[in-house]
């Protein structure tokens, strides 16, 4: 199991007193930390915008931006990961402790700071940051799994139907074209019946890999159901989408898929739709999918292994 903890922890020390910065830096470096410094809150924010610091130690009283203001700014800023913040001050009252914690500090130390106590508080910070990173990674894994088809690694149908409206809206807003390609593996049941369902799974994974190898990084593919896939082509005119589909058709026909010592081949049928100009306002997902599906049906009816298009700004055929 891979640990989320870095080999050496990076600490940002913020203090307007050069001598105190030097003392704290040497102490932390001896303890195995990588240390950077800043002499006020504004300089610290600039560093936080440029580098990732999981641990922050800041003095309260500083020019330009004090420690409390820095804590507030850190909590409202879009920084990389959680920043565990220790506020250091000579103020001892409960009122000041509460003010510091309410500003966003995680911990509070009063001067003079003892080395064992500072290191103990930093170790607590390390544990909390490690837990936060683990939770964030787990949440990202759960999010990815919820939108991904586990067999092929393509997006799933739910993600397609959730994100395609956003693609349409973005195309309308920026006056871009948008195209959609739907494809279906020909005679897929025959592959399953002749070679088994594992062979079918291998074929579907190979199809998605071939699609990804032949489209742009900005294009994306989703498993629509069974052996059907939909490829979303942002900023792509209909005429160009036809060319993309034909390129994919040829690539699929050239595939040689090895499965348990056998070489499997296949063909794929395609339906294409889209606009050759900017997507008009009021366009909806159902219309795009219906046009694609109709084109795919025509390809199947005409003998398979071909590309059929239905442009969005023309009357539907059939």
What are the angstrom distances between the C-alpha of 134 and each of 108, 147, 239, 253, 283?
A: 25, 20, 46, 44, 41
Residues 140/194, Cβ–Cβ less than 8 Å: no
Distance CA 67, CA 191 (A): 67
Top-tier CATH class for 157-309: alpha beta
Distance CA 200, CA 197 (A): 5
Q: Which residues contact 193 (CB under 8 A, 6 or more apart)?
A: none
Model pTM above 0.85? no
How far the first Cα of the chain sits from its last, in Å, is: 57
Q: Which residues contact 194 (CB under 8 A, 6 or more apart)?
A: none
pLDDT in tens, the chain (318 residues): 444 544 689 999 999 999 999 999 999 999 999 999 999 999 999 999 899 999 999 999 998 899 999 999 999 987 778 999 999 988 777 888 888 889 999 998 988 888 999 999 999 999 999 999 999 889 888 888 889 999 999 999 999 999 999 999 999 999 999 999 999 999 999 999 999 999 999 999 999 999 999 999 999 999 999 999 999 999 999 999 999 999 999 999 999 999 888 899 999 999 999 999 999 999 999 999 999 999 999 999 999 999 999 999 877 775
Q: What superfamily does domain 10-146 belong to in CATH?
A: Response regulator (3.40.50.2300)
Predicted local confidence at residue 318, as pLDDT: 59
- Percent helix, strand and coil across the chain, each to the nearest 5: 45, 20, 30
**Residues noted as catalytic:** 227
Task: Report helix, strand or coil for 272.
Answer: strand
Predicted local confidence at residue 94, as pLDDT: 81
The domain ranges of the chain are 10-146, 157-309
């Amino acid at each position: 199991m891979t640990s989320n903890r870095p080999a050496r922890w990076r600490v940002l020390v913020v203090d307007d007193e050069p001598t105190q910065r030097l003392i704290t830096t040497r102490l932390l470096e001896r303890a195995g930390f990588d240390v950077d410094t800043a002499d006020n809150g504004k300089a610290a924010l600039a560093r936080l915008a440029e580098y990732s610091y999981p641990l922050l130690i800041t003095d309260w009283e500083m020019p330009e931006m004090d420690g409390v203001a820095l804590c507030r700014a850190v909590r409202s800023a879009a920084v990389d990961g959680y920043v565990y913040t220790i506020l250091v001050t000579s103020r001892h009252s409960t009122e000041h402790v509460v003010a510091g914690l309410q500003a966003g500090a995680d911990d509070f130390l009063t001067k003079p700071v003892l080395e064992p106590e500072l290191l103990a508080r930093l170790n607590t910070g390390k544990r909390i940051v490690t837990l936060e990173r683990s939770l964030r990674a787990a949440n990202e894994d759960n999010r990815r799994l919820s939108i991904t088809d586990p067999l092929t690694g393509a997006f799933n149908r739910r993600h397609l139907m959730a994100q395609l409206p956003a693609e349409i809206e973005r195309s309308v807003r920026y006056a871009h074209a948008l195209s959609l390609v739907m494809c279906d593996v020909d005679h897929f049941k025959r592959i399953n019946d002749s070679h088994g369902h594992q062979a079918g799974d291998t074929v579907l994974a190979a199809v998605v890999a071939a699609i990804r190898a032949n489209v742009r990084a900005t294009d994306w593919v989703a498993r629509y159901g069974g052996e059907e896939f939909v490829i979303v082509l942002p900023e792509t005119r209909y005429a160009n989408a036809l060319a993309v589909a034909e390129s994919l058709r040829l690539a699929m026909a050239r595939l040689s898929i090895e499965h348990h010592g056998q070489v499997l081949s296949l063909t794929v049928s395609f339906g294409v739709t889209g606009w050759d100009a900017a997507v008009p306002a009021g366009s909806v997902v159902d219309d795009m999918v219906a046009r694609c599906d109709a084109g795919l049906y025509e390809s199947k009816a005409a003998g398979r292994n071909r590309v059929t298009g239905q442009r969005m700004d023309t009357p539907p055929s059939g």
